[in-house]
Amino acid sequence: MTMTGNIVGGINMVTLFISMPIIATGVYLSTQSDTLCLNPLQWPIILLGVVILSISITGCVGAFCRMSWLLILYLIAMPILIILLLSLTSFIYIVTVKSSGDYSDWMKQQVTSSSKWDTIKTCLISSDTCTTTITRFPSLKSGCCKPPTRCGFTFVAPTATATTTMSTVDRDCLLWGNGRMELCYECRSCKAGLLQSVRREWRKADLVLIISSALLFSMYLLSCVAYRRDKTDELFRRYIHGYT
């Protein structure tokens, strides 16, 4: 194998390693209590990362085994995957960008739909969000696991049994229930707390995807340059052997 071929293979190896943080990001989102219950993006991220990994392996095999058709497949597929990754990254940024303290319409639709919220609520109840003492998701726990402070409730037992010391017409106060299956899961504060937690986690994931996209694009450009150099060297060798 020529030195240029080794360089092409090495660049593809770097691309292979870049795909791992993408997969890890999707897995991370699928294991967090807050994003687990509202995360339509975890599987697209994981799937895209796995495909990028597969194409990178294809490029490595093509470079090290001198199989040009595999390299061509890599060079054709990778820009398409980079465009898809950039599209996903842009979508996450658009739906999570903070606009006057509010949430995007797309994010709000995820919790305003009755059918979607019923599924999310079931997930929250089955998770350890309100039972764990770990305060990893303060906005979610504050919004879903206890009544709003403005309601004037007074806790009288560790099991969150509460009585009110004031009358109120606040909807969230009326929706509060002492039962483990009730709590404040139907409250607006719960939905707002979930959106806040999800937006925070998605922004972290988006940062990883942005960096990965930039690195993949850089490695792809280097691969194209190295592949072209390798083909030029091959034509030169054929020319030398043909005329000497």
| pLDDT category of residue 18 using cuts at 50, 70 and 90 | very high
Looking at the structure, do residues 9 and 97 belong to the same domain, yes or no? yes
Looking at the structure, do residues 95 and 156 belong to the same domain, yes or no? no
User: Residue 157: which domain range?
Assistant: 105-194
What local confidence, expressed as pLDDT, does residue 68 receive?
81
Looking at the structure, do residues 72 and 137 belong to the same domain, yes or no? no
Encoded tokens for 176: 């509060």
User: What does the alpha-carbon distance between residue 37 and residue 48 come to, in Å, rounded to a whole number?
Assistant: 21
Q: How many domains does the chain have?
A: 2
More confident residue, 86 or 167: 86
> How does pLDDT run across 86-113, given as a tens digit for each residue?
999 999 999 988 665 578 888 888 888 8
Looking at the structure, do residues 64 and 25 belong to the same domain, yes or no? yes
- Domain edge (last residue) among 194, 214, 234: 194
What local confidence, expressed as pLDDT, does residue 174 receive?
84
What local confidence, expressed as pLDDT, does residue 77 receive?
94
> How does pLDDT run across 108-165, given as a tens digit for each residue?
888 888 888 888 888 888 887 777 665 567 788 888 888 887 777 776 655 444 555 5
Instruction: Single out the residue of 233, 236, 238 nearest to residue 4, CA to CA.
Output: 233
Q: Identify the weakest region by mean pLDDT among 67-71, 103-107, 165-169, 171-175.
A: 165-169
Looking at the structure, do residues 40 and 26 belong to the same domain, yes or no? yes
Instruction: Let me know the angle formed at the C-alpha of 84 by 68 and 101, rounded to the nearest 5 degrees.
Output: 155
Looking at the structure, do residues 110 and 190 belong to the same domain, yes or no? yes
- Domain edge (last residue) among 194, 213, 234: 194
Looking at the structure, do residues 155 and 225 belong to the same domain, yes or no? no
Looking at the structure, do residues 35 and 89 belong to the same domain, yes or no? yes
Q: Is 6 exposed, middle or buried (0-12, 13-18, 19+ CB in 10 A)?
A: middle
- The secondary structure of residue 99, as a DSSP letter, is B
Looking at the structure, do residues 98 and 8 belong to the same domain, yes or no? yes
Looking at the structure, do residues 10 and 87 belong to the same domain, yes or no? yes
- The amino acid at residue 67 is M
Average pLDDT score over the chain? 82
Q: Is residue 65 over pLDDT 90?
A: no
Of the ranges 19-28, 170-179, 221-230, the best mean pLDDT one: 19-28
pTM over 0.85: no
Looking at the structure, do residues 35 and 73 belong to the same domain, yes or no? yes
- Specify the residue for token string 């939905």: 191
| Alpha helices per DSSP H over the chain | 3-31, 33-37, 42-64, 68-96, 105-112, 114-126, 138-144, 171-175, 188-243
More confident residue, 222 or 167: 222
What local confidence, expressed as pLDDT, does residue 205 receive?
93
Q: Is residue 244 over pLDDT 50?
A: no
More confident residue, 11 or 229: 11
DSSP bridge pairs for 163: 154
Looking at the structure, do residues 49 and 88 belong to the same domain, yes or no? yes
